[in-house]
Amino acid sequence: MRRIQYIHQLDKWPELHYDRNRVAGLLEKINFLQGQLHGRMEGYSPELRKLAIINALSTEIVSSCAIEDIFFDYAEVESAVARSLKIRLPDMVASGGMARGAAEATVLGITHHDKKLNADTLFHWHAALYPGVASFDTGSLRNTGLEIKDKSGVKVRFAAPSPAALQNEMKKWIHWLNQEQSESILIKSAVAQFWLLTLHPFADGNGPISRIISLMLITASENGLPRYYAPSANIVKEREAYFQILENCQKGSLDITPWIQWYLGIIEKSILDIKITQNNVMGKQKLEDKMSSLGLTTRQKTLLRKMAAREKAQFTSNDWAETAGYSADTALREIRALLNLRILQKMPKGGRSTRYRLSV
C-alpha cells in the first residue's frame, strides 16, 4: 500500500470540493461590500479613482512579494504600476529589475480577466516577474522536485508533485480555469490559487503567480471594474496563518472548506480596510491641489511629497534638512516660508525640537 501524505496523491485528485453552506453568508457579505465600495468610489473624481487603483495595485505587489521575503521600495513599484497603466504621476522614480517585472506581470494579469488563459501566457507572466534572473529557469515548468520547509529548514511542510507529472497536471488546471462554471467567481479564485500552489509548477515565484491569478479572477468577479483593495496586504499581516492553513489543507482530504473560508475572510478584511487607502489617496490629491494653487517650486513639491510619505506625521527642521540634503539653516528658512503659505503648521512646543506637520 502506498503511503499518502498530500492531497495531490489521493486517487480522486484534483476533485476539490467545499461546504457551500459554510461559505454562503461570507460570500453574500463580500458581494455587498464590493458593490458598496464601487458605489462610493463613483463619487470621486477620475483622477482620485486612478490614484486609488495605483495605490491598491502597488500595495498588493509590495505585500505579495513580502510574503515570500522579497522586499521592494514602494515608490519604485508605484511608478512601475503607473507606467504599466499608462498613467503619469508627479515625481515618478526609475523602476528596474524585479520591481518593474512584478508590476508589469500583475497589470497583465488583471487586464486578462475576460480572456482564456493558456500556458504560454502564464509562462510569459512568470518570466516577466524575474527579468534577467539566471539562478533558475523562468517561464517554464520546473524540472526538479520541490519541497517547502519551515523556518528552521528542517521540517518539510509540503512536497509538490514530481516534475514528470507537471505537464499533465497543468493541462488539467488550465482546462478547469477556462471553463464556465456555476460557482461564484470568488470561490473559483480561491480554488485556483490553492490548486496552483499545490502543483507549485515553477522553480520559484509560485506564490506571486498564484496571487496574480487570484487577482485576475477577483477582477472578473467585479465585471472588470477597477480594483481598489489589496488582499495580500492582509495576508502578509497573517503570514504564518496563511502558510499554516495551506499546510493543513494539503495534508487533509479534498474538502478545502477551511482554506476557502480563510481566503474569503482575507478579501472581506481587505475591502473593509479600503477606507484607510481612500484617506491616503484623498490626502495625496489635496496636497497636490494645494501645492499647485500656491505655485511652489519643483523642489518644494518633491520635499513635501516625501514628508507626506513618512510614517510619522510630524517632523523637525533637521528631518527636513536630512531629506533635502542641505544645511539646517536653509531648511529652517524654507520651512518658515511654507509656514507663511499655510501648507505647513507648527506644532505646540514639546520636547527639545520644534515639530511641524503638513496642514492638508
Cis peptide bond prior to 46, omega within 30° of 0: no
Pure H helices in 151-223:
163-177, 185-199, 206-221
Residue at a domain's end among 222, 244, 277: 277
Look at residue 14 and tell me whether its pLDDT is greater than 60.
yes
**Rounded to an integer, what distance in angstroms lies between the CA atom of residue 270 and that of residue 318?**
37
For 23-75, how does the pLDDT look when each residue is reduced to its tens digit (9 = 90+)? 999 999 999 999 988 888 887 888 888 988 999 999 999 999 999 999 999 99
Q: Is residue 287 part of a domain?
A: no
Q: Are residues 212 and 335 in the same domain?
A: no
Q: Are residues 248 and 336 in the same domain?
A: no
3-class secondary structure, 91: coil
Look at residue 351 and tell me whether its pLDDT is greater than 80.
no
pLDDT at position 45 is 83
Q: Is residue 212 part of a domain?
A: yes
Q: Is residue 2 part of a domain?
A: no
185-199 helix and 206-221 helix, angle to the nearest 10 degrees:
170
C-alpha cell belonging to residue 101: 517585472
As for how many domains the chain has, the answer is 2
Q: Are residues 216 and 119 in the same domain?
A: yes
Handedness of CA 319, 325, 326, 327 (dihedral sign): positive
**Rounded to an integer, what distance in angstroms lies between the CA atom of residue 300 and that of residue 294?**
11
- Identify the CATH number of the domain in which residue 320 sits: 1.10.10.10
Q: Are 230 and 270 in contact (CB under 8 A)?
A: yes
Residue at a domain's end among 225, 245, 277: 277
In this prediction the pTM is: 0.80
Across 136-158, average pLDDT: 87
Q: What percent of the chain has pLDDT over 90?
A: 66
Q: Are residues 270 and 326 in the same domain?
A: no
Q: Are residues 66 and 107 in the same domain?
A: yes
For 239-268, how does the pLDDT look when each residue is reduced to its tens digit (9 = 90+)? 999 999 999 999 989 999 999 999 999 999
Q: Are residues 165 and 81 in the same domain?
A: yes
Q: Are residues 267 and 316 in the same domain?
A: no
Look at residue 311 and tell me whether its pLDDT is greater than 80.
no
Given pLDDT bands bounded at 50, 70 and 90, which one contains residue 193?
very high
Q: Is residue 291 part of a domain?
A: no
**Rounded to an integer, what distance in angstroms lies between the CA atom of residue 129 and that of residue 261?**
29
Q: Are 305 and 90 in contact (CB under 8 A)?
A: yes
Give the residue numbers spanning the domain of 337.
296-358
Look at residue 1 and tell me whether its pLDDT is greater than 50.
no
Bridge partners of 345, per DSSP, are 357
Q: Is residue 282 part of a domain?
A: no
How many beta carbons lie within 10 A of that of residue 200, not counting itself? Answer: 22
Q: Are residues 247 and 342 in the same domain?
A: no
Bridge partners of 346, per DSSP, are 356
